[in-house]
Amino acid sequence: MRSFQSIRRLEVAVCKNRRQIHAFASHAAVQRQVQPVLEPSTASNLTGNSTSPPPDQSQRTNERSSKQNPNKHTFAVGNTQTTDPFALVAPELDQLRNSMITLMGSAHPGLTQVAEYYFKQPSKLLRPLLVLLFSLATNGLGHGWRYKSWLADCEANGSKPGLDAPLSRPDVLNDWNPNIPEHTMSFSSVFDLIRVSPSSVSQLHAPLFSSTEFEPQVANKLLPTQLRLAQIAEMIHVASLLHDDVIDTSPLRRGVPSGPASFGNKLTVLGGDFLLGRASAALSRLGESEVVELVASTITNLVEGEVMQVREVHMPETLMSGDIIEPGLITEQRPGRVSQERWNVYLKKTYLKTASLIAKTARGAVVLGGTQEGEMWKEVAYAYGRNLGIAFQLIDDMLDFSVSDASFGKPSGGADLRLGLATAPALYAWEEFEEMGPLIQRRFEGDGDVDLARQIVSSSKGVARTRELAETYAAKAREVLAHLPDSEAKAALHTMTELVVRRRH
């Protein structure tokens, strides 16, 4: 009863502040002139060149051939024409945005509002984008592609249940939902045993696909399972943002008040948990156990990374691992073991919190496209995603020292320092200025520590060297693409390695 009353009080508070929140959001959007920082229009912000508008939503996958219109998916970088990643999959991204909300409905309106909140703000959609691009770049290359494509055709013609069809009876799956009473069971009476008959659904018989007749070639086609995986990736990412904002007491996210600032910590945590539940149900319907395992492990990684960050602030002595950093990535000027260990912790945490989800969902997309064990395409996807994900986070940490809250869409200007975190710019600054060491060791808790640390970083080469490190990882991501056959999607993935390290916010 007390929990129910607490939730009712939170609902009242949500309704009371709704107008103020929406007014603040509108004002912030006007002030920021919001545009997702990696979308085609942003490429012009990065390069100083204009871009053509994205293709109309009615254009479908089979219209992607560059032979039909070689300039439709390109924009200029200096004197070079390069493939625009967002324009290439613009119809699918629009579809993804519009249909994402349907996956998050709840019998509890307040919970639905929290779950949908961040999805209604402009975002980069980096993770869904990479899932779609790797799907396009590798579909048709794996030996299992013809079977996967046949299954998709069966879904399309109705001979196989679609991805939205539940695997369990609706009344079992949904318990009680007043919005769909015909498919749920009320708790007003005891539950009677429901007798069911054996399923009359006919079994599908797949045609035999000869391995000797298989010729790998890019199919230039997306599968429904891959589109759903793109949505799942974004749902898991947003769930992690809701939880992070509670842990970090962040007041701002995507240019509007954060979840905790708008709904309170309890509902925000529950909203993140709800998203993970919805993502798990959608994941189970993909029908690929390897992908389920991959994506489930990303949730574990997110938790492990967050625990590492908490320990870094509150129990740094427990993080000494003795791990060895890959030669050539970090210079050997560090003054002592503590700095070495902090680099180890920092890069591992960066993988767990950011790169893991990018790398494993990209790999999962390739598996859904029919790549089998022993085929290299999924290894390319993972290597690319891991390196690009670390590069992306390095630039994020760099921008924390060089942009304002309004343009970044979340707290910046040393926000990590205020949380007690030493990221790459601060670690590099320590290599040049020994006085940074004590600040890092006491986690910037002294009076004036944050301002002094920012001054030290500003006086050092920390920001520039962080960008160089990000470029090293991006270059490695670009290098592994050489194993893929040429296609528009491959060119778009190449472009992403440049956009990620050149973004301004």
- Digit-coded pLDDT (tens) for 224-256: 999 999 999 999 999 999 998 888 888 878 678
Share of the chain above pLDDT 90, in %: 46
Stated pTM of the model: 0.81
What pLDDT, on a 0 to 100 scale, did the predictor assign at position 29? 39
The amino acid at residue 150 is W
Q: What is the mean pLDDT of residues 356-369?
A: 98
The DSSP call for residue 142 is S
More confident residue, 261 or 199: 261
Q: What is the mean pLDDT of residues 266-290?
A: 92
CA 381, CA 355: separation in Å to the nearest integer?
12
Helices assigned H by DSSP within 414-448: 415-418, 424-432, 436-441
CA-wise closest residue to 28 among 407, 311, 353, 477: 407
Sorting pLDDT into bands at 50, 70 and 90, what band is 261?
Answer: confident
The answer to whether the beta carbons of residues 480 and 384 sit under 8 Å apart is yes
Q: What is the mean pLDDT of residues 8-20?
A: 46
Asked if pLDDT for residue 60 goes beyond 90, the answer is: no
Asked if pLDDT for residue 323 goes beyond 60, the answer is: no
What pLDDT, on a 0 to 100 scale, did the predictor assign at position 55? 36
More confident residue, 98 or 498: 498
Q: Share the mean pLDDT of the chain.
A: 79
What pLDDT, on a 0 to 100 scale, did the predictor assign at position 21? 38
Per-residue model confidence as pLDDT tens digits over 162-183: 788 777 877 777 776 666 676 6
What pLDDT, on a 0 to 100 scale, did the predictor assign at position 162? 79
Q: What is the mean pLDDT of residues 438-445?
A: 90
SS3 per-residue string spanning 273-305: HHHHHHHHHHHHCCCCHHHHHHHHHHHHHHHHH
Residue 80 is inside which H or E element, if any? strand 80-83
Asked if pLDDT for residue 48 goes beyond 60, the answer is: no
Sorting pLDDT into bands at 50, 70 and 90, what band is 413?
Answer: low
The answer to whether the beta carbons of residues 155 and 243 sit under 8 Å apart is no
What pLDDT, on a 0 to 100 scale, did the predictor assign at position 22? 41
Instruction: List Cβ neighbours of 56 (8 Å cut-off, separation of 6 or more).
Output: 91
Asked if pLDDT for residue 401 goes beyond 70, the answer is: yes
